Amino acid sequence: MSELINNREHAAQTLDPEQTRRMEELKSIIKDLHAGANPAEVKERFREAVGSVEVEEISKLEETMMREEGIPVSEVQRLCSVHASIFEGSISDIHRSAPSAPEEQPGHPVHTFKLENRELERLTGFSIGLHLEKFLKDDSDKNRFKLVEDLNLLLDVDKHYSRKENLLFPYLERYGIYGPTQVMWGVDDGIRAAVKEAKRLLTEYDGDREKVRAQVEYAVQEVDGMVFKEENILLPMALKKLTEDEWVKIADETEEIGYCLIPGTARWTPARAAEPGKAAGTPEAAAGAANAPQAPAQPGRPASRPEAAVGGPAAGGMPAFAAEAAASGAQMPKWVADMLAAEAKAEAEAAKPEQPAQPAGMAEQAAKMAAQAAEMARQAAEMAAFASGQAASAAAGGAAASHGTSISSPPKSAEPAAAAPITDGYVRFATGILSVQQLELIMNHLPVDLTFIDENDIVRYFSHGKERIFARTKAVIGRSVQNCHPPQSVHVVEELLNDFKAGRKDHEDFWIPVKDKFVYIRYFAIRDGQGSYLGTLEFTQNIAPIRELEGQKRILSEI
């Protein structure tokens, strides 16, 4: 459904009275830290006055401090580690994910970030700690080089931070979240510089072990602190804001930047609903869910055809039309079966050694019978093909029949069966008939964007004209519409769909300015003749040119 429902700017700015009170308390505490207050005293005050704090409040805190209090980004970066230590242990744990959640699946960007963080903790908490201790006891080249090797590995954190900064931050900024991204990027840069400085002190070692110890411990402390900030502030906030579509895009681009301390990860593909007409649990449905989106099988035709061309033999020697009829469940007339048996017997006879020549009269009679048999075979093929089309149409379009809509096999002049699926077949409506190609082109030439969600809230179709107002990708096909919206706005989607399903509403309209466009967005409940809910149609149009119309126009344009 439309990005309108994301309501990003509104969600980013709305605070209830309790949040406002807590925000003022947090601002006061941070300002006291800025003025030089003792962190231990402030920590106790924080616990008494504020208690548990949620990640969004930290985000809004940093934003308002920079915007309203005029504290520069560099100063907020300096305070970041101090107030993070105060918040540690008090951040609300409501964002903990269930093991089955998408972010817990290999390949999801959040899962990858956490996987890398575990490797960073192993490096900082074990290897570097061990080798630093040995170096402080004996600063031999051997112990020094081991520590340099550890820091070379730690420099790999640059890939981790680069993915965060260049893939995740841009999406957060679309939701109006700028403060945390600016602050964290600055801290990331500070960590990069700290690790490089520690490495420089070791490669240009002048005998000052204490200087090396202080710099290495500082770098380790900052890396560990960033792990905490990511997993308790940044990632939970991102999970609350970003749509599944946005996570898919981030996952797709992860490989371009690379991984930190891990060789890679599995490709993450969100689950898809099976295509209509495919039973859940079948191999076809499983393949469709794993590899969606796929081009749907054409109505009235088998999903796959083993023969090379129409009329060619199918498996087991059965003629193609007979195989199609059998596959569709159509019953073969007895005379057709008898004729096929006779033809099979004739072929078997023909395979025997050559018999003595027959009299001319008998040969002529045999030729006539062969011609008649060929004509009967042609008619049988047409009948079987028609039966096949009717059976598939009845199975796939039972509901459509109540609307006067049916699917028929193409006439003799239609494209051959080997043509591309988009041009194969015709759709018969109550008011006319269109080829699939014509129907597809009509939908894509409408000056509007269309998206259809079925009765189970699964996205089944969207038009793809030259200039869509809101971007769509084929990855959305087969997915729950709820997963296409930020978690905090899903309740709006649910409310609209529930009203449609309950019959309380038949449509809902919105209109918003989007850059140079004025976008009119309409939602329609699609119902059959008996009033049963079959899905929702989203209709989006840029009506800015229409709003500018004046007077009248009655003649063709000259150009």
Q: Let me know if residue 268 belongs to a domain.
A: no
Q: Which residues pair with 51 in a beta bridge?
A: none
* pLDDT at 321 > cutoff 90: no
* pLDDT at 318 > cutoff 60: no
The mean per-residue pLDDT over the stretch 269-278 comes to 76
Confidence bin at 176 (pLDDT 50/70/90) = confident
Q: Let me know if residue 113 belongs to a domain.
A: yes
**pLDDT at 231 (0 to 100):** 87
* pLDDT at 382 > cutoff 60: no
**pLDDT at 138 (0 to 100):** 94
Same domain, 68 and 126: no
Confidence bin at 101 (pLDDT 50/70/90) = confident
**pLDDT at 540 (0 to 100):** 94
| Look-up of token digits 């490989």 | 255
Same domain, 65 and 128: no
CATH of the domain at 491: 3.30.450.20
> How many other CB atoms are found less than 10 A from the CB of residue 69?
13
* pLDDT at 339 > cutoff 50: yes
Same domain, 83 and 207: no
For residues 77 and 181, give the distance between their C-alpha atoms in angstroms, rounded to a whole number: 11
CATH of the domain at 214: 1.20.120.520
Residue of higher predicted confidence among 144 and 330: 144
User: Which tens digit of pLDDT belongs to each residue from 147-175?
Assistant: 999 999 999 999 999 999 988 988 888 88
Q: Let me know if residue 352 belongs to a domain.
A: no
Same domain, 69 and 113: no
- Provide, for the chain, the percentages of residues in helix, strand and coil under a 3-state DSSP scheme, each rounded to the nearest 5: 60, 10, 30
Same domain, 159 and 248: yes
Coil/strand/helix, residue 447: coil
Of the residues 210, 233, 257, which one is the last residue of a structural domain?
257
The mean per-residue pLDDT over the stretch 250-276 comes to 87
CA atoms within 13 A on the CB side of 433: 10
Same domain, 41 and 130: no
Range with the largest mean pLDDT of 346-355, 424-433, 442-451: 442-451
Q: Let me know if residue 541 belongs to a domain.
A: yes
Q: Return the biggest CA–CA distance within the chain.
A: 121
Residue of higher predicted confidence among 111 and 412: 111
* pLDDT at 116 > cutoff 90: yes
Same domain, 106 and 76: no
**pLDDT at 80 (0 to 100):** 56
The mean per-residue pLDDT over the stretch 449-463 comes to 93
- How many whole angstroms from its chain centre is CA 11? 22
User: Which tens digit of pLDDT belongs to each residue from 278-307?
Assistant: 655 555 554 444 444 433 333 333 333 333
Of the residues 57, 87, 117, which one is the last residue of a structural domain?
87
Residue of higher predicted confidence among 244 and 388: 244
The chain-wide mean pLDDT, for the chain, equals 74
| Spatial contact of 261 and 115, defined as CB atoms under 8 Å apart | no
Number of domain units in the chain: 3
Q: Let me know if residue 395 belongs to a domain.
A: no
- What DSSP string runs through 303-346? S---SSSTTSB-GGG-BHHHHHHHHHTPPPPHHHHHHHHHHHHH
**pLDDT at 97 (0 to 100):** 62
Q: Per mean pLDDT, which range of 21-30, 268-277, 528-537 is the poorest?
A: 21-30
Kind and range of the H or E run holding 514 = strand 507-514
Q: Let me know if residue 327 belongs to a domain.
A: no
* pLDDT at 553 > cutoff 70: yes
Residue 423 contacts by C-beta under 8 Å, 6 or more apart in sequence? 415, 435, 436, 437
Same domain, 253 and 106: yes
Residue 126's domain spans which residues?
102-257
User: Which tens digit of pLDDT belongs to each residue from 185-241?
Assistant: 888 989 999 999 999 999 999 999 999 999 999 999 999 989 988 988 889 889 988
**pLDDT at 203 (0 to 100):** 94
Tokens of 283: 């191999």
The mean per-residue pLDDT over the stretch 133-160 comes to 94
Of the residues 87, 118, 138, which one is the last residue of a structural domain?
87
pTM comes to 0.51
**pLDDT at 40 (0 to 100):** 72
Same domain, 248 and 129: yes
Same domain, 121 and 247: yes
Same domain, 239 and 111: yes
Q: Let me know if residue 173 belongs to a domain.
A: yes
The mean per-residue pLDDT over the stretch 375-386 comes to 60
Q: Let me know if residue 454 belongs to a domain.
A: yes
Residue of higher predicted confidence among 9 and 531: 531
Same domain, 122 and 219: yes
Range with the largest mean pLDDT of 294-308, 402-416, 461-475: 461-475
Coil/strand/helix, residue 302: coil
